[in-house]
Amino acid sequence: MSTREKPYRGKAPVIFFQTVQTALQSTFFLVNESGLTSFVLKDETGKVIKVSLGSTHSCTCGGGKTEHCVHTLYILLKIFRVLPDNPIIWQLSFIDSEINWLIRNRVNPHVDTKPKKERNSAQAQKVDRINLSEEFGCPICQEDLKDPETLIYCKEGCGHNFHVKCMKVWAEHKTSQKDPITCPLCRCDWGNGVINELNKILRKAKKKPQLHSNATCIGCGAIPIVGTKYHCVICPNFDFCSRCYKSYHKEHPFIMKTNPNSAWEAAVRVNSDAFAGRDFGPEDYEMLQQLDAKPCLSEYLFSLLPDCPPDVCHICKSDQQTRWKKLACSHSAHDTCILQALRDEQYICSIDSISCFLGLTPSSSHLKQEAPLSISGLHVGNPALAFRQRRKPAIKRHESHNAPIAHQPVFDLPPLIVTRIGVRKP
């Protein structure tokens, strides 16, 4: 089609870029391609979504007609590899030349023109596994391929790698359609027993202990930390294993990671001694529910910020009279402003680029990353030695508030351990 059915858009609306962010953070599984621009996706709950791009876009979620939905943008961003600033991705209607460009532009080194091979064929031969550095990502979920122990590859066809979890979704979809389970790329038959093989690998991965390879427990010195890793929000570069977390440093709040690839979560301590020997009745049900509920990370961090007198909010730049919170850099902000910033995963002050919390530093602006070594104007070279010498961080507490007031920290440590860095320029 040489004419566009919907007007050309010279720029994208604001909501478009918000949807782009959601699409980039979403996980879908590509389980079928019914055409060059028609796809079948499955989300993590198993819901099937059908997406078609062309002279008009359509999606079974109802999006794509008046504005792009998460699914149409996922196809364009992760399958066709179109950059968000390319005007083609903004359009709600494609012409023939744009469709041809999308097809040619698609990064798909997996195309194999060899005839299909039967798994039990006498001529079938084992093929070498393709090196992960040569892969463009998992062909099913479009995400990176990292840990070889969580991957499986086509042994008798193309040799390409897949996530075990993704391959299980693919195999279950093929089984539900009463189709043979084949390689998503070369269509080599994997046989009927592949689902049992995939389940076996997944069970083995669950039993394997989670190792935080770049983390050292400050308490016992364990390297690496096995299982859940706990990180102090107040102290710099301060990690604990599960055993030491239960025993030490109970006066400070912590966040935790259950495995190296998971996001940070709130680590809420429960004082079990307070309930020792107590008989619970129906009147305690609401209290027990509150203890069992885990707050989201943004609300948990927000609760740690101390109140402060009214000032000018460094986020909205107004002095509107409301509740105020103080950050580690001593700047103030409205409670609603800082809560929204934390929900948006913005953990550093916009004025001086200092973290809102002493234990979370400017370079750790996204809590999915590991916490680095530096904090507000200080660099800690060996926090384990400081802890074992029982040095207490100089953190004052407000008389009427349990959360620490984040003043400029002063550590009474040897000069080889703490080195002062130059003053930051705003």
Q: Is the per-residue pLDDT at 249 higher than 50?
A: yes
Beta bridge partners of 360: 357
CA distances from 97 to 77, 108, 168, 364 (A): 19, 19, 37, 44
Q: Which burial class, exposed, middle or buried, applies to 227 when counting CB atoms under 10 A from its CB (0-12, 13-18, 19+)? A: middle
Residue 352 in any domain: the answer is yes
Per 3-state DSSP, the chain is made up of helix, strand and coil in percentages (nearest 5) of 25, 15, 60
- List the domain range (segments joined by +) for residue 410: 225-271+284-420
Based on the fold, state whether residues 351 and 239 are members of the same structural domain: yes
pLDDT of residue 386: 43
Give residue-wise pLDDT tens across range 393-426: 433 333 333 333 333 333 333 333 333 334 444 4
The reply to whether 125 falls in a domain is no
Look at residue 126 and tell me if it is in a domain. no
Do 92 and 154 sit in the same domain of this protein? no
Return the pLDDT at 242.
Answer: 87
Whether 236 maps to a domain, the answer reads: yes
Residues 87, 147 within the same domain: no
The domain total for the chain is 3
Residue 49's pLDDT is 94
Same-domain status, 312 and 411: yes
Residue where a domain terminates, one of 179, 207, 235: 207
Q: With contact defined as beta carbons under 8 Å apart, do 403 and 395 qualify?
A: no
Whether 300 is in a domain gets the answer yes
Q: Tens of pLDDT along 70-83?
A: 999 999 998 998 88
Interval 255-313: pLDDT, tens: 888 878 777 888 887 655 555 555 556 655 555 555 555 678 888 888 888 888 888 88
pLDDT tens per residue, range 101-143: 998 877 554 444 344 444 444 445 678 888 888 888 899 998 8
91 is a domain residue: yes
Q: In whole angstroms, what is the distance from residue 400 CA to residue 311 CA?
A: 20
CATH at residue 182: 3.30.40.10
203 and 97 co-located in one domain: no
Percent of the chain clearing pLDDT 70 (strictly above): 73
Position 375 scores a pLDDT of: 29
Residues 363, 403 within the same domain = yes
Residues 39 and 153 in one domain: no
Q: Do residues 379 and 418 make contact, with C-beta atoms less than 8 angstroms apart?
A: yes
Statement to judge: residues 143 and 181 lie in one domain:
yes
310 and 384 fall within a common domain: yes
* Domain co-membership, 97 together with 166: no
Task: Tell me, yes or no, whether 140 and 22 share the same domain.
Answer: no
Average pLDDT over residues 329-339: 83
Q: Does the residue 123 lie in any domain?
A: no
**Percent of the chain residues topping a pLDDT of 90:** 15
The model's pLDDT over 127-185, given as tens digits with 9 standing for 90+, comes to 888 888 888 889 999 888 877 778 899 988 888 999 999 999 999 999 998 899 999 98
pLDDT, position 17: 85
Tell me, yes or no, whether 229 and 198 share the same domain.
no
Whether residue 424 contacts residue 377, with contact meaning beta carbons closer than 8 Å, is answered with yes
- 52 is a domain residue: yes
Read off the pLDDT band of 248 (50, 70, 90). confident
pLDDT in tens, 48-60: 999 999 999 999 9
pTM over 0.75: no
